[in-house]
Amino acid sequence: MKKTTVINSDLSRVIANMGHMDWLSIGDAGMPVPADIEKIDLAVTKQLPSFIDVLTNILSEMEVQHIYLAEEIKTVNPEQLTAIKKLLPDTPITFVPHSQLKQDLKQTHAFVRTGEMTAYSNIILESGVTF
């Protein structure tokens, strides 16, 4: 049995297959996912699992060099932004309009759906290298 913290087989596979500068997205329960992008649906019910819990789990196995967030998170969901910055304090952030973030999902390896029910709880993680 796997010893590391990501035990969801689909999520573990996607992370293991990522290379430098590849994208993985995590989002709230309402984010529309492009039809041709793999959706790893972890949502069980409202707020379960939370966006931050899933992000924390993924960061235990994925090297992240850059993140992309919706500009709107700054004013609509500043608490979530603070939580993200606490987990990734030294990681550069690019803010884009939410409409652009939705378009950018087409470039991700997969979208991880959480049970999060707060607005703009969506992120694109750009993978770094461990050497």
Task: Render pLDDT for 36-90 as a digit per residue (tens, 0 to 9).
Answer: 999 999 999 999 999 999 999 999 999 999 999 999 999 999 999 999 999 999 9
In this prediction, residue 107 has a pLDDT band, given cuts at 50, 70 and 90, of very high
Phi then psi for 69, rounded to 5 degrees? Answer: -130, 160
Enumerate the active-site residues.
20
Round to whole Å and give the CA distance between 56 and 50.
Answer: 10
DSSP state of 106: G
Domain ranges of the chain: 9-127
In this prediction, residue 1 has a pLDDT band, given cuts at 50, 70 and 90, of confident
User: Is 68 annotated as a binding-site member?
Assistant: no
Q: Looking at domain 9-127, does it have CATH number 3.40.1650.10? A: yes
Round the average pLDDT of the chain to a whole number and report it: 97
What is the structure's pLDDT at 57? 97
User: Is 25 annotated as a binding-site member?
Assistant: no
| Whether the predicted pLDDT of 34 surpasses 80 | yes
What is the structure's pLDDT at 3? 79
User: Is 109 annotated as a binding-site member?
Assistant: no
